[in-house]
């Protein structure tokens, strides 16, 4: 089955009791049993809910996995993965990481005796230097935020296999439309469904997708024991969003390319970060593991002045100044004063996060309008 057909049909069946083609919102906490223990597979909605089951099946199908698990947010999904570990275990993570992931690793799980190494994975061979007998997990995000670095998933999987580590890939920026990490050897795919998967900026949710039965059992145990599960109404909205994932992503990619090329040619723009450019340092890897290059773009203005970036962000009309990404509407942000404001300036600059860096989540509007908007804003 091809991807678009899957987005609409896979994992989802008409409701068995009524034939409703769209999965109903099973707004119930509990389920009646005929006799103690004699039930229809549903006992309590933290553990299972029919709306959530359909969504989990759809996600598993889209990522070419076997099992999906949904959580109340992307962070709750990450929380569940780290709970596979015990004190003394070590994690090797990419250093260009979603801020919330860095926060939960360093401010929560470090206190429980888990050690994290944050390293550059631009050259994946670098990972081996940090592997020791306590290493259990390899954490990869690609493309990264906001510098759009690309990490070699196959290379990471080879290292994970050699040292018996679990490889987790945060696939939020790519979605399975662009890349399916389980096919490249990853053990766990993690999603903030809040972004492209939901796609309409109206739900916060997360997911994990795996192939392995035993790993699924462990994660399902944690999901139920810790209880960070989403409600059925949100699951319904996510299911609805997924049905147009391929259409939305196609347009995000088309618009992304047009906007990236426009910015690259602009005399007031110093540098554009987008993995689709041939001079991107890991373009070859991006090309080999992704079907297209997505709608996330960052750029730096000539002169690198914060006030110039602020002016652009105040002037744009269609690009809404807001946190988050991946919705149908275009968004823009200023990492230095928004998402990455807590990082000292020196460190920010060292990591390549300039004062005038602007991040765009290019939406699915008409590209001509978006370019016109950037034109009047950048001047
Ligand atoms: C948003 C995001 C998360 C966290 O997800 P929430 O749904 O906000 O909890 C994790 N990773 C990436 C790459 C994200 O963009």
Task: Judge if the beta carbon of residue 194 lies within 6 A of ligand 1.
Answer: yes
State the catalytic residue, choosing from 15, 31, 42, 46: 46
Q: Do 249 and 223 reside in the same domain of the chain? A: no
Range of the domain at 29: 3-242
User: Could you tell me which of 136, 341, 362, 140 has the C-alpha nearest to residue 254?
Assistant: 362
SS3 6: helix
Confidence (pLDDT) at 290: 98
Confidence (pLDDT) at 97: 87
Closest residue by CA, ligand 1 atom 6:
74
117-120 CB contacts, 8 Å cutoff, 24+ apart = 117/90, 117/91, 117/92, 117/93, 118/93, 118/94, 119/92, 119/93, 119/94, 119/95, 120/94, 120/95, 120/96
- Cα 134 to averaged position of ligand 1 atoms, centre (Å): 27
Q: Do 43 and 157 reside in the same domain of the chain? A: yes
Active site residue 98: yes
- Cα 171 to averaged position of ligand 1 atoms, centre (Å): 10
Please, what are the averages of pLDDT over each run of 10 residues along the chain (379 residues)?
A: 94 92 96 94 96 98 98 98 98 91 95 96 96 98 94 98 98 98 98 98 98 98 98 98 98 98 98 96 96 97 95 96 94 90 81 92 98 97
Helices and strands in the chain, H and E counts: 13, 12
Confidence (pLDDT) at 11: 87
Q: Do 57 and 76 reside in the same domain of the chain? A: yes
User: C-alpha 193: how far from its chain's center?
Assistant: 7
Q: Do 162 and 34 reside in the same domain of the chain? A: yes
Closest residue by CA, ligand 1 atom 4:
74
Task: Judge if the beta carbon of residue 195 lies within 6 A of ligand 1.
Answer: yes
Pairwise CA distance, residues 226 & 228, whole Å: 6
Last residue of a domain, one of 190, 216, 242: 242
Please tell me the total count of domains within the chain.
2
Q: Do 195 and 51 reside in the same domain of the chain? A: yes
Confidence (pLDDT) at 110: 97
Active site residue 46: yes
Confidence (pLDDT) at 20: 96
Given a contact cutoff of 8 angstroms between Cβ atoms, the answer to whether 334 and 309 are in contact is yes
Q: Do 351 and 331 reside in the same domain of the chain? A: yes
Last residue of a domain, one of 242, 260, 293: 242
β-partners of residue 320 are: 331
Token code pair at residue 46: 């933290």
Q: Do 232 and 271 reside in the same domain of the chain? A: no
- Cα 73 to averaged position of ligand 1 atoms, centre (Å): 8
Please tell me the pTM assigned to this model: 0.96
């Amino acid at each position: 089955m091809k991807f678009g057909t899957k987005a609409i049909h896979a994992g989802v069946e008409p409701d068995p009791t009524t034939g409703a083609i769209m999965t109903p919102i099973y707004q119930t906490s509990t389920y009646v049993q005929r006799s103690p223990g004699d039930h229809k597979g549903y006992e309590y909605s933290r553990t299972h809910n029919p709306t959530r089951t359909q969504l989990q099946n759809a996600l598993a199908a889209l990522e070419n996995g076997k099992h999906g698990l949904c959580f109340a947010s992307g962070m709750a999904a990450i929380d569940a993965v780290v709970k596979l570990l015990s004190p003394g275990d070590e994690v090797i993570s990419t250093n260009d990481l979603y801020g919330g992931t860095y926060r939960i690793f360093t401010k929560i799980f470090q206190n429980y005796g888990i050690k994290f190494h944050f390293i550059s994975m631009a050259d994946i061979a670098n990972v081996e230097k940090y592997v020791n007998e306590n290493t259990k997990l390899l954490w990869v995000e690609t493309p990264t935020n906001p510098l759009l670095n690309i990490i070699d998933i196959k290379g990471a999987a080879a290292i994970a296999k050699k040292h018996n580590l679990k490889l987790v890939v945060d696939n939020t920026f790519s979605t399975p439309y662009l890349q399916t990490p389980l096919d490249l050897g990853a053990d766990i795919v993690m999603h903030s469904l809040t972004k492209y998967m939901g796609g309409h900026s109206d739900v916060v949710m997360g997911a994990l997708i795996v192939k392995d039965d035993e790993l699924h059992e462990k994660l399902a145990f944690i999901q139920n024991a810790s209880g960070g599960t989403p409600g059925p109404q949100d699951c319904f909205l996510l299911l609805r969003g997924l049905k147009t994932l391929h259409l939305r992503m196609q347009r995000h990619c088309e618009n992304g390319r047009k906007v990236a090329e426009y910015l690259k040619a602009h005399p007031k723009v110093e540098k554009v970060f987008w993995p689709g450019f041939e001079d991107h340092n890991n373009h070859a890897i991006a090309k080999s593991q992704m079907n297209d290059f997505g709608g996330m773009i960052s750029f730096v203005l000539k002169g690198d002045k914060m006030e110039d970036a602020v002016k652009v962000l105040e002037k744009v009309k269609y690009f809404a100044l807001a946190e988050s990404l991946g919705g149908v509407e275009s968004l823009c942000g200023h990492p230095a004063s928004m998402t990455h404001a807590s990082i000292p300036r020196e460190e920010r600059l060292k990591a390549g996060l300039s004062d005038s860096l602007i991040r765009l989540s290019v939406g699915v509007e008409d590209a001509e309008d978006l370019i016109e908007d950037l034109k009047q804003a950048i001047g």
